[in-house]
Structure 1
Amino acid sequence: MIRLAIFVIFLAGSVVAQEAAEPEPPMTYERLGKIVFALDPDAQPLGPGFQMTVSDRSVLVVTDINADRMRAMIAIRSAEGLSPADLQRMMQANFDSTLDARYALANGTLWAAFIHPLSRLNKEQLISGLAQTVNIANTYGTLYTGGAAEFGGGDSQDLQRALIEELLKKGEEI
């Protein structure tokens, strides 16, 4: 059933009707699947989720209806050999520059992950979360960023500025 809310506003003795945007329905496995296939027509259902490709990255999207959760994940590399400096940098990025995506470790693998309550997820959040997950996978080892504005208050901005300064210094000789 589609409902359209009409708000009536009285302005200088006249009545003006405004249509309110209809809220999105709750996210379900089926609705999530429609969005996934719109983004990647070659996506494949995989158990309680989907395997898709975004910007040449294999993304696993998993749902748990009973827990009302969804998770989008990209395997980045083996967790073996991660140094304390690597781990610290990822934790710094999780604080201020990955935004809604996160670096995570599970089963001996370093992952880029976006985790959200399924029913409250809207289409734009899903698309943004997928893009951020791809971005942090792609920028692992360099900028460690979700690709949108940084939250700030952390270490990432200064570390990224240090890279810019280093490159500017090298460029002075050209």
Structure 2
Amino acid sequence: MKTLTLILLVLPFCIFSQNMDNEKLDTIYTTVSDSIQGNPGAWQFFVKEIPLMCITDTNHNRMRIISPIADSNSLSDELIKAALVANFHTALDVKYAVSDGVLWSVFIHPLKELSENQVKDAVSQVYYAHINFGTTFASTALTFPGRINSRDDDVEKKKEQPKFKKL
């Protein structure tokens, strides 16, 4: 019984003691990017020629990884609607968002609670949401809940009119 009590007391500290910080993020971004610039708390880096940025607020335990995709004013209503549907089904941990006239792929999370693997996965998802905008709108191969995309359609046709199968 004493062992079980000790495990129950210690386990939450093991699970939630990730303590991600700007120094760790800097190391991660340096290893996963092709090039990087900026200062701890405000980085711009490239992954396969796609620009990504990370901004942290250590006082409020927040961070976001973002990638600019397009001028939001140039997007059709169908593409905007498709992005909103993707936020539910295929964007997973990232979302499509509009701010200051730009469409972004965005990952937002509490900073300290992140693990190294979660940060790497977040970079990957922001990257893939960026490059898949207008086609599959996917940030990973996984879809939720079990959504099936038609991959036989021509990519250009999908960009003009996103198609989604009814559930």
1:72 matched to 2:65? The reply is yes
Whole-Å separation in 2 of the counterparts to 1:137 and 1:121: 22
2:114 to 92, 100, 121: 121
User: d(CA) in 2 for partners of 1:92 and 1:41?
Assistant: 31
**Matched pairs, number:** 142
Identity %: 28
Task: Identify the match of residue 42 of structure 1 among 32, 35, 39.
Answer: 35
* Paired AA for residue 111 in structure 1: W
Higher helix share: 2
Residue 93 of structure 2 corresponds to which residue in structure 1?
100
Q: TM-score, normalised by structure 1?
A: 0.73
Q: If each structure's strand is expressed as a fraction of its own residues, which one has the higher value?
A: 1
* SS of 2:121 mapped into structure 1: helix
How much has 1:41 moved relative to structure 2?
A: 6.5
Separation of aligned partners in 2, 1:115 and 1:47: 17
What is the DSSP-based 3-state SS (H/G/I as helix, E as strand, rest coil) of the residue aligned with 1:146?
coil
Q: Secondary structure at the match of 1:66?
A: helix
Of residues 85, 89, 97, the one that matches 2:78 is: 85
Q: Deviations over 1:45-75 (max 9, x none)?
A: 2473211111221111110111211111110
How far does residue 88 in structure 1 lie from its aligned partner after superposition?
Answer: 1.1
The letter of the residue matching 1:36 is Y
Decide which structure has the larger Cα Rg and report it.
1
**Higher-RCO chain (CA-CA 8 Å, sequence separation at least 6):** 2
Measured on the aligned residues, the alpha-carbon RMSD in Å equals: 2.2
